[in-house]
Amino acid sequence: MEQPARSRFVTVEVNGESYEREVDARRLLVHFIRDDLELTGTHVGCDTGNCGACTVHLDGQAVKSCMLLAVQADGASVRTVEGLAGDDGELTPLQQSFSAHHALQCGYCTPGMLMSASALLEQNPRPTEDEVRTAIQGNICRCTGYVNIVEAIKAAGGPAYDWRSVDPVDGKDGGEP
């Protein structure tokens, strides 16, 4: 009887850079990102898909990287929170809005919140409060109570939200809701 493969080579584009690595077949995507690629902005909170701290974009969709194996990302494009800021490190309107609206306290949930929020704003640049709350319902924050997070996301949206743009929409804290 043939034994299952213990490791496999994967090719993944992360934040625009291509990586080819041999990974254990059971390695979670979150651990591949953090440990193998040393991109530690993606946090490990629960390892059960409940908290959302590990949220990344996989081919443009917000996913919980603790619920995917690294081999499942083979051939895919992944964006982590490190991929949001501009090449010069300048914060995006969404990140600026989180700061301006005091949408973080301890900051542990912030990377996952930013990734869920940016996925929403790319699809819907002017979301309602209900749409924002639905988009972040898989992300847990034990500190803020969500009000400032929701306001920050709404304020960051604009007529043509582009996560790559580092200029605040309308020139004000990411724009007006």
Sign, CA dihedral 24-45-67-162, equals negative
User: Percent of the chain, pLDDT > 90?
Assistant: 79
User: Percent of the chain, pLDDT > 70?
Assistant: 87
pLDDT digit string, tens, across residues 25-66 = 999 999 999 999 999 999 999 989 999 999 999 999 999 999
> How far is the C-alpha of 147 from the C-alpha of 128, rounded, in Å?
13
pLDDT digit string, tens, across residues 132-156 = 999 999 999 998 889 999 999 999 9
pTM: 0.86
- Binning pLDDT at 50, 70 and 90, where does residue 124 land? very high
- Binning pLDDT at 50, 70 and 90, where does residue 126 land? very high
Q: Is the pLDDT of residue 171 over 80?
A: no
Q: How far is CA 41 from the centre of its chain?
A: 9
Q: What are the chain's domains?
A: 7-83 (3.10.20.30), 93-171 (1.10.150.120)
What is the model's pLDDT at position 165?
Answer: 53
